[in-house]
Amino acid sequence: MKFIDNKLYLGFSEMVNAIANATGKEQEKVELYLRKAKSTGTKCWTFLNDPDDRRRVLVQYEALKEEYKKMVKELFGNPYDFMAKEPILKMVHSDQKAEAFFLSYTYSDNRFLPTEHVTKYVKAASWLNMLNEINRNKKLIKKQLNVNLDQFWNNVCSLIKSEGIDLPASYQRLRNKMTEYQEKGYACLIDWRFGNSLAKKIDDDVLKKLLEHPNQYDDVMICYLYNNWARQNDREAIGARIVSLRRKEWEHEIIASREGWSAYNEKYVRQVKGLPGRTMHPLALVECDDYNFNYYFTDPDMTESGKDLQRYVGYIVADSSIGLVLGASYRHAKAPVFDMVRVAWLDAMYYIRSLTGGDQWYLPFEVKADHWNQKNAFPFFSSIARFVKPAVGNKHRGYIEQLFGSDHAKRAEKLAAHNELNYNGNNLTARHTGVNKEVLKANTKRRPLIGDNASGQINKFLYYMRNMPAITKSDLEAPSREVQWKQRWNELSEEQKCPISDLQFLHLFGFTHAPQGRSITITNRGIEPVINGTKYSYDLPDYVNMQHLIGSKVSVIYDPYDMSRVLITDHEKIRFIAREANLQPRALVYQYDGSRKALDLILNEKKAQVQKAASLSAARTFEIDSKAILFAGLAPKELLAESEQAYYREENNQTEITEDEATEFNLYKNIFNR
């Protein structure tokens, strides 16, 4: 339909549909009838070619007989009203984003909106989008609809009623809804019955603010505080049961503020489900973490209370492939220190070498740890293997937490206290303590003392962790974790191992000796540091070729488990392993088998040092122009003699000096003959 010269015209197809709908005739026959009427010029029909598209045929409405007008009204209603409203309907476009929002909207424990309500809310959102667009650009009303504002809003309210749109049908309330929609979006269309706080009598924002307070107020107190606010803001009061229900319903939203992000992560954050540790090969992943040993010890030197409640803290390094403790360190304290990390890894490296056999060191491929002391720990872990920084508060980063809480660990810990009876059980928050507290208390005065007794018990626990059969309900004949680790290690290819040299080992795991921040000087006696009150003496590996290093300032990096060798470096150009000096007896009576041979080796090295220095000097002299010296006349007789010999060799095309000739002009040839 369209207006031309203020006259209403129907499209040819619209007229065909109206007649076919009223009479029940086939559309083809109706089309044939109208085309014949147009061609013959029947008076009861007024046809017009569409000025905008000459191929289209229009039919004037007012020229129709009354019976045909009724047919049009049956299908389209009043065509003049239809012409005013139809363009408005065409301006409404379905909002796909609104549909996605309402389809995914959940309330009350992940319940979804009914489909009929989704359709209703999408229509309302689509209408509000159109109305707000018209409100921003009022020229569209005149341009597209050719009506004034009053007519437009009257038609809109009429259409909202007739089309059953879930919006107010009065002008002012509709404008208010448009404003609310602009401010609050799709949520303002949802009925309060579906969990919409914008439509509820209870102010969820206020209630949530009280529930998520870190002081963790109880339900009755929160009810009291909320009702005080409600009275001041003309809202309805609530009961404590409502608070309890809302606290449980909104727990996933409030737990982070109420109990902390760790609690939120533990209960709600999706956990990455890793493959079982047994699917990895040995040393594929090694984890480390601190651990408080569940034993009470006695400190006899304490006079105040608590002397029988002393505990040790440890640092554990474990292979995640099988849950094998590789290394450990511990001390009598409440918290670890960073040196415990280094000692635990050093202990692990020695244990790995003992398992693999031989003198080869092996590194893991990946390391995992928590955020403790990250300033020192993260660079250290990164130097060992691949290390990815863990998420803060993530207790499920790997397998070591499971190891500490495993049945195997509990069995080992209890067995190590079988006679001592100082095992204090699980932590206070555990459902079962795992020990008879009455017996624990009765045995207070017989607890092991801190020091050697405590160390012995902790070492026994670590021994059980490694060597106790890893039994399960289904396998009571299972071998120990140490045996299982060895079996799996022997099945690996060389590509699945990561060997390192002794120099790399000292570089990664050694302790730097820095006496009051000073360096150590290399002398002709080698390197002689005083470490922890003990003086050590180390020789240069090759005095002949390394004598130029004498006088250099260096650092000494040592292995506290094996002081027979150290890494010497200035962290720039010098880096070598020095071994413990071979001390020789001064008196003949103290000689032993092989001592003379060792002494000869040292003397020969000293002789080689001097010979090298002499040969270098001779080589420098030989480089001097022999003719220039001879013609100059004034020179030491030895230099003149050597220059004369050099001149003769040049004349005879001799390019190299023989060994006998070099010895003849060696200024130091008689040093060892004195």
What was the pLDDT predicted at 672? Answer: 43
Phi and psi at 372, nearest 5°, equal: -65, 130
**In residues, how long is the chain?**
674
**Where in the chain is CATH 3.30.420.10?**
277-488
Can you state the angle between helices 338-356 and 481-490, rounded to 10 degrees?
Answer: 60
DSSP conformational letter for 555: E
Give 286-319 as a DSSP string.
EEEEEEE--B-BB-TT--STTTT-B--EEEEEEE
Angstrom distance (rounded) from CA 20 to CA 381? 84
Q: What is the pLDDT of residue 154?
A: 85
Using alpha carbons, list the distances in angstroms from residue 173 to 167, 178, 340, 470: 9, 9, 72, 74
The candidate with the shortest Cα–Cα distance to 300, out of 95, 445, 455, 466, is 445
| pLDDT tens per residue across span 574-588 | 999 999 987 666 555
Q: At 233, give phi and psi (nearest 5°).
A: -120, 20
Handedness of CA 366, 369, 373, 375 (dihedral sign): positive
DSSP 121-148: HHHHHHHHHHHHHHHH-THHIIIII---
Q: What is the pLDDT of residue 288?
A: 94
Q: How far apart are CA 33 and CA 70, in angstroms?
A: 18
**DSSP state, 587?**
S
Comparing CA positions, the residue from 559, 563, 557, 600 lying closest to residue 581 is 563
> Which tops the pLDDT comparison, 139 or 177?
177
Name the more confident of 113 and 621: 113
Model pLDDT, residue 671:
44
Which residue(s) pair with 107 in the sheet?
A: 111
What is residue 665's predicted lDDT score, i.e. its pLDDT?
47
DSSP of 35-89: HHHHHHT-TT--EEE-TT-TTSEEEESTTS-HHHHHHHHHHHSSHHHHHHHHHHH
- Backbone φ and ψ for 554, nearest 5 degrees, come out as -140, 165
Q: What is the DSSP letter of 35?
A: H
Burial of 266 (0-12, 13-18, 19+ CB in 10 A): middle
Mean pLDDT across 407-415: 93
Closest C-alpha to 324, from 444, 527, 488: 488
289-312 pLDDT, tens digit each: 999 999 999 999 998 888 999 999
On whether the CB atoms of residues 22 and 70 are closer than 8 A, the answer is yes
Burial of 72 (0-12, 13-18, 19+ CB in 10 A): buried
CATH topology of domain 2-77: Arc Repressor Mutant, subunit A (1.10.10)
Give the separation between CA 445 and CA 297, rounded to whole angstroms.
10
pLDDT value of position 617: 57
More confident residue, 36 or 623: 36
Spacing of C-alpha 657 from chain mean position:
69
Q: What is the pLDDT of residues 453-508, one digit of tens each?
A: 999 999 999 999 999 999 988 989 999 999 999 999 999 999 999 999 999 999 99
Q: Is the pLDDT of residue 145 over 80?
A: no
Distance, in Å, from the CA atom of 293 to the CA atom of 295, rounded to the nearest integer, reads 6
DSSP 98-125: HHHHHHH-EETTTEEPPHHHHHHHHHHH
Of residues 505, 263, 508, the one with CA closest to residue 387: 508
pLDDT at 568 over 90: yes
Q: Is the pLDDT of residue 418 over 90?
A: yes
Q: Is 22 helix (H, G, I), strand (E, B) or coil?
A: helix
In this predicted structure, what is the pLDDT of residue 668?
44
Which two structure tokens, joined as six digits, stand for 96?
């796909």
Contact 577, 566 (CB under 8 A): yes
Taking the C-alpha atoms of residue 352 and residue 346, their distance in angstroms, rounded to an integer, is 10
Measure the CA–CA gap between 529 and 439, rounded to whole angstroms: 52
Domain 277-488 of CATH type 3.40.50.1100:
no
Cβ neighbourhood burial of 614 (10 Å; 0-12, 13-18, 19+): middle
C-alpha to C-alpha distance for 481 and 467, rounded to whole angstroms = 6
Instruction: Provide mean pLDDT across the span 513-542.
Output: 88
What integer pLDDT is reported at residue 622 of this predicted model?
52
Q: Which residue has the higher pLDDT, 105 or 227?
A: 227
CATH 1.10.10 maps onto the chain at 2-77
Locate 473 and state its tokens. 């309900």
State how far the Cα of 131 lies from the Cα of 127, in Å rounded to an integer.
6
Contact 615, 607 (CB under 8 A): no
Burial group, residue 334, by CB count within 10 angstroms (0-12, 13-18, 19+): exposed
pLDDT tens track for 108-136:
666 778 888 889 999 999 999 999 988 88
CA–CA separation, 533 vs 529, rounded Å?
10
Report, as an integer, the average pLDDT of 17-31.
87
- Inform me whether the pLDDT recorded for 252 exceeds 80: yes
CB atoms inside a 10 Å sphere around CB 570 = 14
Q: Regarding beta strands 366-368 and 286-292, do their DSSP bridges make them parallel or antiparallel, or are they unpaired?
A: parallel
* Burial (0-12, 13-18, 19+ Cβ within 10 Å), 552: middle
Residue 513 near residue 557, CB atoms below 8 Å: yes
- pLDDT at residue 177 tops 70: yes
R_g of the chain computed on alpha carbons: 48
Mean pLDDT of the chain: 83
